[in-house]
Amino acid sequence: MNTLFPLEFRLPTGFSYYDDFLSEAEENELLAEIPEIELHNLSYHGYKANRKVRSFGYDYNFETNKLTKGAPMPPGFEFLIKKIADLIGIRENELAELLVTEYPVGSV
């Protein structure tokens, strides 16, 4: 069959996908934690994006192009940070930033 696009699923170079990385219980923990985080619209060189974000560990300011020390990682994400660190073979404290992003319907 001739197709315009390839049928096989390909990930971008350097991107890894782990099927069922989170258990249902872990997913539910995150779904309970995320609404507790105060998000703000991302501002990018004077443009206010519809998506909302919150950085932990470090925060990059797109207006000043500066990286600054940010809020500490929320305790509710400790299990996720440990799980990711274990998966990629690093210490938990080597994961320096956590970015939570909400893409409301219609946002770009």
* pLDDT tens digits, one per residue of 67-92: 999 999 999 999 999 999 999 999 99
Any idea what DSSP says for residue 21? -
Q: What is the pLDDT of residue 47?
A: 85
Q: Above 90 in pLDDT, residue 10?
A: no
Q: Averaged over 40-66, what is the pLDDT?
A: 89
- For residues 10 and 2, the model is more confident at 10
Q: What is the pLDDT of residue 107?
A: 72
Domains and CATH numbers, the chain: 24-102 (2.60.120.590)
- Are residues 30 and 79 in contact, defined by beta-carbon separation less than 8 angstroms? no
State the pTM of this model.
0.78
- For residues 2 and 15, the model is more confident at 15
- The one-letter amino acid code at 84 reads I
